[in-house]
Amino acid sequence: MGEGETTAFPLIWTQPPPRRRGLDREKIVAAAIRVADEAGLDGLTMKAVAAGLGPYSPMALYRHVHSKEGLFDLMLDAATAEIPLPGEPGGDWRDDLRTLALETRRMTARHPWFAVLVHARPPAGPHMMRRLEFMLTVLVRQGATVGEAMTYAALIDRHVFGSALQESEEARQERRHGLDDDARLYAAIAALRELAAADGRLPHLTEWLTHPAGPTPEERFAIGLDFVLDGIAGRLP
């Protein structure tokens, strides 16, 4: 049959040009991040990453990242590298920590998968370690012990990544159920409200589902962050 034979008649001219060595960790991680940003963690398969790099087979990636979990670790550290990190703490410890928290939040907004993965992997990447070291330095300079500083840093990150996780999972649900247009979203809320109203003992929840009100996500984040920073301030010597 046709001249594009791979089986019967191997004419060199019709064969695809041999693949040059084009892959490395950086490219693979960048492609994986691109895929995860666009398709979510569910869409992050080895096949999809390979396809995002060109005509590669999924197995090609294993030569460079040796497992999907390894790829996760590299993705986490690459995303963490995007967070601007001062070389030295500035004059105001609260500003230092607040700014870092806000920048971290901005990164998680670009990479919604981050908050999911960060809870599943140990934070051993170099950029993640440097970021943590910065928080520790800021707190230790205010008189905290290293153990206390670890506790406070963990509380800040709990809030940052907790917010990010909740918001990204909400967005995921909406995308999965096609709630992007207002009509569907309204219907989904109405269904929830009916459920709550049917119980009969949920007046406040029903009210909120009828008139959802309250601070924006951004304001909610700031409120919680202030709670943590105020709390830390109250415990510094």
Partner DNA sequence: CTGGGGAAGTTTATGTCGTACACGAAGAGT
Partner DNA sequence: ACTCTTCGTGTACGACATAAACTTCCCCAG
Phi, psi of 219 (to 5 degrees): -65, -40
Pick what 161 binds: DNA, a copy of itself, none; C-beta below 5 to 8 Å, kind-dependent: a copy of itself
**Site string (145-184) toward a copy of itself, x via CB under 8 A:** xxxxxxx--xx--xx-xxx-xx--x---x-----------
Q: Is 151 helix (H, G, I), strand (E, B) or coil?
A: helix
130 counts as binding DNA under rule CB under 7 A: no
Footprint of a copy of itself on 99-118 (CB under 8 A): none
Q: How far is the CB of 187 from DNA (least distance, A)?
A: 22
Pick what 194 binds: DNA, a copy of itself, none; C-beta below 5 to 8 Å, kind-dependent: none
Q: Are 32 and 106 in contact (CB under 8 A)?
A: no
Nearer to DNA, 50 or 229 (CB): 50
Applying CB under 7 A, which part among 43-51, 92-100, 118-126, 203-211 lies near DNA?
Answer: 43-51
Is 207 exposed, middle or buried, given 0-12, 13-18 or 19+ CB atoms closer than 10 A?
middle
Using CB under 7 A, which of 2, 8, 9, 18 touches DNA? 18
Nearer to a copy of itself, 39 or 136 (CB): 136
Q: Are 3 and 21 in contact (CB under 8 A)?
A: no
- Helix ranges (DSSP H) in the chain: 25-43, 46-52, 58-65, 68-80, 93-110, 114-118, 126-141, 146-176, 182-199, 203-210, 217-235
Q: 96 CB contacts (<8 Å, ≥6 apart)?
A: 86, 89, 90, 134, 138
63 counts as binding DNA under rule CB under 7 A: yes
d(CA 134, CA 86): 8
d(CA 11, CA 207): 73
Nearer to DNA, 22 or 231 (CB): 22
DSSP state for residue 161 in the 8-state scheme: H
237 counts as binding DNA under rule CB under 7 A: no
- Binding footprint of a copy of itself on the chain (CB under 8 A): 119-120, 122, 124, 126, 129-130, 132-133, 136-137, 140, 145-151, 154-155, 158-159, 161-163, 165-166, 169, 173, 192, 195-196, 199, 201-205, 207-208, 212-215, 220, 223-224, 226-228, 230-232, 234-235
- Binding footprint of DNA on the chain (CB under 7 A): 18-23, 44-48, 50, 55-60, 62-64, 67-69
